[in-house]
Chain A
Amino acid sequence: MSAIVLLSILGIIFGLLLGYASVKFKVEGNPMAEKVTALLPHQQCGKCGYPGCAPYAEAIISGEAEINLCTPGRETTMLNIADLLGRAPVPLDAEVILEKPKALAIIDESRCIGCTLCIQACPVDAILGAAKQMHTVIASECTGCELCLPPCPVDCIEMREIPLATSNWKFPYPLLNTVGKA
């Protein structure tokens, strides 16, 4: 009898403790989704089919989306997410692999009519301008997401590849049979 009483009392105490903790230490949002969000490239391009990087991260966590949908992040991002979540890496879609080289948006200033539509579309505020004034892209802030292209009524924005120069050239992966001892 005393055992039953004791256990019930303990049960009530722990129940209350847990109930209190769930209110007191409530975590807003999903912390895992935030971690995944941090791994994404933040172009907010929507090429994964979700309206931004954070929604895509949530979809990954809820198991709704695969981890191989991020086009700008390519394989590196996929591998990082796989690493974080302990999931098996998934091969990228053919479309994703054939992704074009990195490019930045550039506005043909002679054709720009100053409609501000691209300014509203830019997720990172990288376009400068005002109504009826010429607009221009701040190159250092542009992520190359291409979201400014569709709203432009006069099609004056194009994506221009970043040219290869000594400043962004990288040493290539060594080819074993052609390179000998230095």
Chain B
Amino acid sequence: MQLWKFNGGVHVDGHKRISSEQAIVQAKIPKLLILPLLQHLGIPTEPIVSIGERVLAGQIIARCRGENQDSLMSAPIHASTSGTVLAIEAREVPHPSGLTAMCIIIETDGKDEWIARQPLEHYQQLDPNLVRRHIAQAGVVGLGGAGFPTHIKLKPQGINTLIINGAECEPYITCDDRLMQERPLDVITGAEIMRHVLGGAKRGIIAVEDNKPEAYEALQEALEHTAIQGWELIKIPTLYPSGGARQLIRILLGIEIGRSQQSSEFGIVMHNIETARAVYRAVQRGRPLVSRVVTITGDGVERPQNLEVLLGTPMYELLEACGRKADLERVVMGGGMMGFALSSDEMPVIKTTNCLIAHRAASIEPPTPALPCIRCGACEQSCPLNLLPQQLYWYARAKDFKKVQEYNIFDCIECGCCAYVCPSNLPLVDYYRYAKAEVREINQENKKAEQAKRRYEFHQLRAEREKQAREARHQQVPVAEVSSEVAPEAVAEMDESARKKALIQAMLTKAKAKQSKD
């Protein structure tokens, strides 16, 4: 099996052993569930329950806004367990801003009563679109961290290669690793369902980094003993960020996805390990996405482990369950490279929460002061996207937003390799995020200005037209003799035929005037 290489990348300390040997444990049902209306990439949902209402596990409590439910960039939110809706209010949500957003708060009753499940047992015989709609209604989104609605990526549009991404290249995260070890058949079945929905992609690949030999073996064994055929299991060398979509496609297929191109243009689509399992559960078990595996790790907890957590569970509950240390100082959501620090531990676990890293105060290094860029070029050699991080840094720093776009800032996946190798400790990714946000805002404002201009021009056109019509009326028609003091109702009361005549007359004079002008 030939594998390719992508440019750059870094070898990072994985810290995976902290939690990779602990089997997945079911976390207990929390007293309170906090379910944000936006847990994915796309449009927020709207609540369809009212305060005081009793809800059952698996019940949709917030639906997608819009008509055509299965093509929207959105995914419904389900109640994770049974209970009563306590409030619908703004709460702190896991987001780099630390701001609040609307959430549905459910007080659980501990009974975990489910709605009637509706699995699609013989999906092979069903229309792929029907299965896709089922997955959309189950609220499945990409569970690798980005939260892209899965049904959008399952549209059958000439896809010939389906890749299941088990690279899990980021430090600390082990949830996919454990899932592959413990539930290989679920993952494979989910992958097979996806293949069916995509209209039978010719090639199916499951890729696993070679630092997870147990997961590889478990999948291999499961593939040998199942009726599901035609899956290639490929071991790839450990190198961050091999789990990035473009990087993994490069490694496996040798295809370089160009700037501002989509992998679907090449007939390739990629899904995460846990997403495959969520699809399996939705289709075969009739269980919508109400829980996920979360790695709780770091030296801030006594017993780092992987927990199967109900969505909406407050993070402090998980930290308690893993033996929170007294001097726990900071919690990071996501991996060691791309994660962000949370401002509070009262935030809920959402669909994109794959890992929580707890740090003790003592282990947090004081921030190293950034030194000037010495133009060493190490960042350029590490960039897996072949960008010029140094140039991007200078232009972002100088707020030259035209130039950052010329240097393809939107290709940057914010993997952090450049900042990792930077000898001057420059927070490079922070600059790129800043520049991206500014450019997005500028583009949005330009769009708004364009819209305003259009509306203003139409406004003036209409004003002009009305003025002309008024003048014409004043000149020709008895209506014009109605003095301005008379209320408009009087005009309206005018005989219908007289009004029509007046209108025709006005048009005629207008036409005549035009003719004489020409």
Contact = CB atoms under 8 A, between A and B. Distances in A.
B266 interface: no
A171 B453 contact: no
A23 interface: no
Given A177-B370, A181-B425, A124 B452 contact: yes
A151 B427 CA distance: 50
A174 to B, nearest CB: 4
A44 B117 CA distance: 57
B144 to A, nearest CB: 19
Interface string A134-171: 00000001010000000000000000000011110111
A180 B369 CA distance: 6
Nearest to B99: A166
Given A170-B437, A171-B433, A171-B434, A179 B453 contact: no
Interface stretch (A9-17, A35-43, A61-69, A86-94): A35-43
B260 to A, nearest CB: 21
A166 B459 contact: no
Contact of B370 (A41, A125, A180): A180
A181 B366 CA distance: 10
B285 interface: no
B455 A124 contact: yes
Main secondary structure of the interface of B (DSSP, over half): helix
Of the candidates A52, A123, A124, A125, the one having the most CB atoms from chain B within 10 angstroms of its own CB is A124
A25 interface: no
Interface in B436-452: 436-438, 441-442, 445, 448-452
Contact of A179 (B44, B96, B370): B370
B419 interface: yes
Contact of B456 (A123, A165, A171): A123
A97 B445 CA distance: 18
Give the interface size bracket for B toward A: 35 or more
B337 A182 contact: yes
A62 B445 CA distance: 27
Main secondary structure of the interface of A (DSSP, over half): loop
A166 B44 CA distance: 11
A180 B365 contact: yes
A126 B458 CA distance: 12
A125 B451 CA distance: 12
Given A179-B367, A179-B370, A180-B427, A173 B434 contact: yes
A76 interface: yes
Interface of A: 37-38, 40-44, 52-53, 76, 122-126, 131, 141, 143, 164-167, 169-174, 176-182
Given A42-B450, A44-B456, A180-B425, 5 more contacts: A41-B448, A141-B455, A171-B437, A177-B369, A181-B420
27 contacts: A42-B450, A44-B456, A53-B453, A76-B442, A122-B459, A123-B455, A123-B459, A124-B455, A125-B455, A141-B451, A141-B455, A166-B95, A166-B97, A166-B101, A170-B438, A170-B441, A171-B96, A171-B433, A172-B434, A177-B370, A179-B370, A180-B365, A180-B369, A181-B427, A182-B337, A182-B416, A182-B429
